[in-house]
Amino acid sequence: MSGYVISPPPVSSVPVAGGGAFPVRRVFCVGRNYAEHAREMGSDPDRELPFFFCKPADALVTGDADMPYPTMTTNLHHEMELVVAIGTGGKDIAEADALSHVWGYAAGLDMTRRDLQNAAKKEGKPWDMGKGFDQSAPIGVLIPAAGFPDPTKGKIELKVNGKLRQVSDLSKLIWSVAETIAFLSRLVALAPGDLIFTGTPEGVAAVVKGDLLEGVVEGVGTVTARIV
Ligand code: MN
């Protein structure tokens, strides 16, 4: 084969605490992974296996950069989440081994065009354009897994313009980080560079231009985005 006929696309990456960058391959997201959020979205949290959707790797927004208010929506929602970065790939990963596949963790926002997502749900259509739009995934600095050895607990919260909008604890994840990795690795072979947004707690709501979003995952770090 000859060379590429256009320039290859740039590699998306997430900055790492202390320097360097984590190159991103795919971005997986878990749906409805906190019971109170599942209820606020009108679902029964007790009956569901984990399910996944994806965002493009180039949807990530790093460096606490501004996030442009997206087109084709009047109902942009925040979803504050713990993000897991896979350093070692694998398929059919055992739950007991799952955390050894993690390179690190970050705080992230699964920004959502809720109106488009709701319309898609109603019509049985894909969520992609409600979830995987340009600059839909602000993410903070990644810390190595050794710095956060126990992802089964830790406060997760989001403030908008200084007011608390979402607050919960990782202990309330329906499917834990280890269970999520194990389950996802049965659906696809995970690979180094994959990110997993692990789901959002209750309190999702709309933001407008000018709003400042400040999220924290205790023990992991922060994510900040202004909607412009
Ligand atoms: Mn989400």
- Residue-wise pLDDT for 36-53, tens only, equals 999 999 988 887 899 999
Ligand 1 centroid distance, CA of 31 (Å): 6
* Neighbour-count burial of 60, counting CB atoms closer than 10 A to its CB (0-12 exposed, 13-18 middle, 19+ buried): buried
Radius of gyration for the alpha carbons in the chain, expressed in angstroms and rounded? 17
Ligand 1 centroid distance, CA of 180 (Å): 14
Ligand 1 centroid distance, CA of 199 (Å): 4
| pLDDT (0 to 100) of residue 48 | 85
Ligand 1 centroid distance, CA of 3 (Å): 38
| pLDDT (0 to 100) of residue 117 | 98
| pLDDT (0 to 100) of residue 11 | 97
Ligand 1 centroid distance, CA of 19 (Å): 28
Give dist(CA 121, CA 208) in Å, integer: 23
pTM (predicted TM-score): 0.97
| pLDDT (0 to 100) of residue 1 | 56
